[in-house]
Amino acid sequence: MNVLFDNLSLYGNGFLGTIKLFLVAAVGSLILGTVLAGARVSPVPVLRSFGTLYVNTIRNTPLTLVLFFFAFAYPRLEIADVSFFWRACIGLILYTAAFVCEVVRSGVNTVPVGQAEASRALGFTFGQTMTEVVMPQAIRSVVPPLTNVQIALLKNTTIAAGFSVLEAGGIYANLSERGYNVFVGLLWVALGFLVLVLPLTLLQRNLDRRWSTAR
């Protein structure tokens, strides 16, 4: 108990950092991932192959290495001075977007073929077919797995602690220096994550139940 109460501000700031990172990266990865999914099913062959190449490469790269690139290699490109927080966000967005893309793409594939064919028969363009007909239907089957990906993102933010972002993953290092029991400290961190993940899981279950019957 002491570990938590003696270091309340540490835990507070740590989890605040986690939540900030998560919110920014969640929104960013959803947008980029959807755009990427669009590219992967688009009529332009080059866009399709870029999308495929991107997803296959990123999915096979450990996140640590992505973040490492932004922390250590980026400064040498001398483009613009971006804070470590935003660089961590960019790294997380680029990584998570690949998974969001795959989920959205498989969601598109669950919409019956006739839907797209009918909209084409009505003279819709690719953009219209996607935004007006396919996506609104795909969303339903996409949201539950998408929530899973976002939960994974939430856990992943801990890796940013190694790249100069104050967040929950760095709490144990602080505690160890202060001479507290690291093990107990980590159990509190685990509990904190459960508290953050639980609402997301419940939301997912709820949506899943409601939307799978609506079909």
Residues numbered 94 to 113 that lie near another protein (CB under 8 A) are 95-96, 99, 102-103, 106, 108-111, 113
Pick one of 16, 23, 190, 202: the residue that binds another protein (CB under 8 A).
190
* 129 binds another protein, rule: CB under 8 A: yes
* 156 binds another protein, rule: CB under 8 A: yes
How far are the Cα atoms of 47, 156, 211 from residue 152, in angstroms, in the given order?
27, 6, 22
**Least distance in angstroms from the C-beta of 117 to another protein:** 6
* 179 binds another protein, rule: CB under 8 A: yes
Pick one of 16, 86, 178, 210: the residue that binds another protein (CB under 8 A).
178
Question: How many residues in the shown chain lie near another protein by CB under 8 A?
Answer: 85
**Ranges within 17-36 binding another protein (CB under 8 A):** none
* 61 binds another protein, rule: CB under 8 A: yes
* 136 binds another protein, rule: CB under 8 A: no
Distance CA 97, CA 34 (A): 8
Site string for another protein, 64-83 (x = CB under 8 A): xx-xxx-xxx-xxxx-----
Pick one of 19, 32, 50, 203: the residue that binds another protein (CB under 8 A).
50
- Contacts of residues 8-17 at CB distance under 8 Å and 24 or more positions apart, as own/partner, are 10/171, 10/174, 10/175, 11/168, 11/171, 11/188, 11/189, 11/192, 13/166, 14/166, 14/167, 14/168, 14/169, 14/170, 14/171, 14/189, 15/167, 15/168, 15/192, 15/196, 17/165, 17/166, 17/167, 17/168
